Amino acid sequence: MQHYNRDICLFNEVHNGPKMPVNIGLPDSEDFFEQMKELVKYVYDVIPSILSNTENIK
């Protein structure tokens, strides 16, 4: 494993600042498929913000 001495930002951190992981629950939960659909929609909706904000990360 190589180390590059660089922090990797979490998705939400790049999107809107908080260092909070995206949580979709366990794959065997009853609503996992619905959670995945919501996650995909969330990612799709915030892509413009992500692209804009990545330009500001050094």
Q: Is residue 38 part of a domain?
A: yes
Report whether pLDDT(47) > 80: yes
> pTM of the predicted model, to two decimals?
0.66
At residue 1, the pLDDT reads 61
pLDDT at 58 exceeding the cut of 70: no
pLDDT reading at 54 higher than 90? no
Q: Is residue 1 part of a domain?
A: no
The number of distinct structural domains making up the chain is 1
DSSP string for 1-58: ----S-----HHHHHHS---------TTSTTHHHHHHHHHHHHHHHHHHHHHHHTT--
Q: Is there a domain that residue 36 lies in?
A: yes
- Which residue range forms the structural domain that includes residue 32? 11-54
Region 11-35 average pLDDT: 82
pLDDT score for 20: 75
Structure-model confidence comparison of residues 58 and 38, the more confident one: 38
